[in-house]
Amino acid sequence: MSDHSNRADYSTSKTLYLANPYGFSSQQRELLLPPIIDQLTAIGATVWEPFERNNQVDFAVAGWAHQVAQADVKDVENADGIFAVVNGTPPDEGVMVELGIAIALKKPVFLFRDDFRKCSDSEEYPLNLMLFASLPANGWQQYFYTSVNEIADADKALAKWLKS
């Protein structure tokens, strides 16, 4: 899917579940996912992208939806952290469920939103305040990314977490 030759050299790579709605559209899967995956791997993450990980499921067989849902839940449980694409108003409901699971499990959470529309019940946060429940009250912005290039920012929380 993407070239990972620029990957940073880290002795132990942390797994990052990439919660996103981009796999439902071939155009989004081909154009939007690779740059995000490239940035995440370049800074040392092992990316678990759910659409790619579930590509072995036979969608013609009854029960495929339950199988996919269970696989995604298991991946969120087993990943070290979650990087969630939260574009849209409201963001994708599957991504929100995956985030809820990660928050309940106290996983490190990193949010990506390059959608300029406001989708909030608060003047402080750009999204529903519950999505920020696992982030620090002061400095939550360090866990919030608004461009693909910002993902590799060494001064933000994701890069620091990957190095720790």
Question: Which sequence spans correspond to the domains of the chain?
Answer: 17-163
Neighbour-count burial of 17, counting CB atoms closer than 10 A to its CB (0-12 exposed, 13-18 middle, 19+ buried)? buried
Helices (H), 16-141: 26-31, 33-42, 50-53, 64-78, 93-104
Question: Does CATH place domain 17-163 in 3.40.50.450?
Answer: yes
Q: Kindly state the helix (H) or strand (E) to which residue 158 belongs, with its residue range.
A: helix 157-163
- Please tell me the predicted confidence (pLDDT) of residue 56: 76
Q: What is the pTM of this model?
A: 0.90
Q: What is the pLDDT along the chain (164 residues), one digit of tens a residue?
A: 444 433 444 446 999 999 999 989 999 999 999 999 999 999 999 999 999 998 778 888 999 999 999 999 999 999 999 999 999 999 999 999 999 999 999 999 999 999 999 888 888 899 999 999 999 999 999 999 999 999 999 999 999 999 99
Cis link prior to 34 (omega < 30° from 0)?
A: no
Q: Is 57 within 8 Å of 67 (Cβ atoms)?
A: yes
Are 148 and 20 a contacting pair, CB within 8 Å? no
Amino acid at 2: S
pLDDT the model gives residue 4 = 40
